[in-house]
Amino acid sequence: MGKPQEERRKEIVQATMDLTAEEGIKRVTTQAIADRVGIAQPTVFRHFKTRDAIFAAVIGWIAENLFKAISSGFNPNEPSDEQLRKLIKRQLTFINKHRAIPKVLFSDFLHLESPKLKASLQEVMNRYIKRVTQILQQGKENGEFRNDLDTEKTAIYIAALIQGLVLRWSVYEFNFSLEDEADSIWQFLLPVLKSINSQNQIN
Amino acid sequence: MGKPQEERRKEIVQATMDLTAEEGIKRVTTQAIADRVGIAQPTVFRHFKTRDAIFAAVIGWIAENLFKAISSGFNPNEPSDEQLRKLIKRQLTFINKHRAIPKVLFSDFLHLESPKLKASLQEVMNRYIKRVTQILQQGKENGEFRNDLDTEKTAIYIAALIQGLVLRWSVYEFNFSLEDEADSIWQFLLPVLKSINSQNQIN
DNA sequence: TAAGTAAGTGATTACTTACTCACTTTCGAA
DNA sequence: TTCGAAAGTGAGTAAGTAATCACTTACTTA
């Protein structure tokens, strides 16, 4: 007999991610997955009911490991700005290692194909925003950040900035290191978080 | 006989955009397009050699009209910050009206399927960045913006922020008005562009 | 008004691909 | 050692879909 359920499932998920990174979702057929794992195509369906279920597992994997990555080495006693800087750095480092992420994120597949997947993506985003908002809030209370900071809006824009950069990374064939952008992003964000003069509005 | 070439092509492009907005790219079959236009499926191929060619035309339409939108009412004598503010506002207003844009932008279709389309997307992005960089440069020389502003990086991040927000808009089923975000984005960006104290770096 | 041409079509093809099924192999526990 | 169940498979099905083709219709113009 072959390998036990759990092991095979992981292999299939991993193979799917690898193929997605290389080829883009559309070309990841169940046949291709089977070939990569080294099993027959129908065997894939012993472990996942449908093709969509495989991608649901992929998204699950990404979500789980993304949060693991951005939470690793979290120290609540550190200054908020350091917490946030590290979070961004870790997130970019993680995504930089997994090109499947933008391919999955930017796929028409997710963008209507299956409402369940969409819902779970929304959940991941919500959770991320909440996390960043917390840090911002804490920093605001600390006095580290501007006291007129709109924490949630800011969190949303930080997330958007990163996601947009990931899109760019993908569109430009991964021709720059995401990880290396962390510092410049941080420089970009500093005035948003810390500037003292509450701003020459509109004018 | 039917309608003349040009008119039909426009109808097909329009129908494709409408369907894409409603259904996502994958479900936009040549049959669906034909039905929407009110012609037979093979007739579509009288006007476009392949299905990809239709989407190429869609991207062309988007690019053309996006630049028309962001350039409309451009006045070189206006202050740079006003120019940039209006550009962002107009861009968001335009995208807000065309839900097909995120569906096309965030499609695995583009993300490997056809290198030509990818190249043309890169070109649109380059052109956009160049435009924003110019405005930032001008504002920097004017003394309106920080004199230590990295204009190109900033332009890239502004573009990323907007694209990321468009992704969010799409993932959340268009449940907020993009256009209404323009002002808060501008508030978010102001400290980046104008802050005087050249920043409490890293610390 | 006749001819040439562009637009339009029904029928079909060629192909891809998720998924099923009946059957076999292998493992682990009793 | 036996036996039940889980993992595995070859062969096939069903459904969808881009693209082709031979043919028709109708508009334009000489």
Question: Are both B1-48 and B51-194 of the same fold?
Answer: no
- CB-closest option in A105, A192, A196 to B192: A192
* Cα(B139)–Cα(B72) distance, integer angstroms: 20
**What is the arithmetic mean of pLDDT over A177-203?**
80
Beta-carbon neighbour count of residue A104 at 10 Å? 24
Class (C level, CATH) for B51-194: mainly alpha
Q: Are A180 and A150 in contact (CB under 8 A)?
A: no
Tokens of A190: 């500093």
Q: How far lies B128's CA from each of B79, B114, B132, B152, B184, in Å?
A: 19, 22, 6, 11, 21
Helix A115-142 × helix B151-171 angle, to 10° = 130
pLDDT tens digits along A59-71? 999 999 999 999 9
CA angle A99, A188, B139 (to 5 degrees): 120
The full set of domain ranges for chain A reads 74-194
pLDDT tens digits along B49-97? 999 999 999 999 999 999 999 999 899 999 999 999 999 999 999 999 9
Any idea which architecture A74-194 has in CATH? Orthogonal Bundle (1.10)
CA of B4 to C1' of C9 (A): 17
Widest distance between CA atoms in chain A: 73
- CB-closest option in B113, B163, B185 to A167: B163
Q: Phi and psi of A161, rounded to 5°?
A: -60, -45
pLDDT bin (cut points 50, 70, 90) of residue A158 is very high
Min Cα distance B7 → chain A (Å) is: 29
* Cα(A197)–Cα(A152) distance, integer angstroms: 21
* Cα(B37)–Cα(B42) distance, integer angstroms: 12
pLDDT exceeds cutoff 60 at A198: no
pLDDT exceeds cutoff 70 at A77: yes
Nucleotides of C under 7 A from a protein CB: 6-11, 16-22, 25-27
Cβ–Cβ contact A27 with B under 8 A: yes
C-alpha dihedral sign at A48, A53, A58, A64: negative
Cβ A156–B170 below 8 Å, yes or no?
Answer: no
Tokens of B163: 């694209």
Cβ B161–A160 below 8 Å, yes or no?
Answer: yes
Of the candidates B14, B182, B175, B22, the residue with the CA atom closest to the CA atom of residue B93: B182
pLDDT exceeds cutoff 50 at B41: yes
Min Cα distance B170 → chain A (Å) is: 8
Helix A178-194 × helix A80-97 angle, to 10° = 150
**What is the arithmetic mean of pLDDT over B22-33?**
94
Tokens of A153: 């809006």
Amino acid type, A92: L
Q: Which residue has the higher pLDDT, B131 or B119?
A: B131
Q: Are A129 and A159 in contact (CB under 8 A)?
A: yes
Q: Within chain A, where are the H helices?
A: 5-23, 30-37, 41-47, 51-71, 80-97, 100-105, 115-142, 151-171, 178-194
Amino acid type, B53: A
Any idea which architecture B1-48 has in CATH? Orthogonal Bundle (1.10)
**What is the arithmetic mean of pLDDT over A5-29?**
95
- CB-closest option in B125, B164, B203 to A171: B125
Length of chain A: 203
pLDDT bin (cut points 50, 70, 90) of residue A127 is very high
Cβ–Cβ contact B106 with A under 8 A: yes
Residue B117: predicted pLDDT: 80
Of the candidates B13, B20, B18, the residue with the CA atom closest to the CA atom of residue B47: B13
CA angle A143, A145, A150 (to 5 degrees): 120
Strand D and B1 CB separated by under 7 Å = yes
Residue A45, nucleotide of least CA–C1' distance: C19
Residues of B in contact with A26 (CB under 8 A): 108-109, 112-113
Percentage of chain B exceeding pLDDT 70: 93
Of the candidates A189, A188, A202, A91, the residue with the CA atom closest to the CA atom of residue A149: A189
pLDDT bin (cut points 50, 70, 90) of residue B112 is low
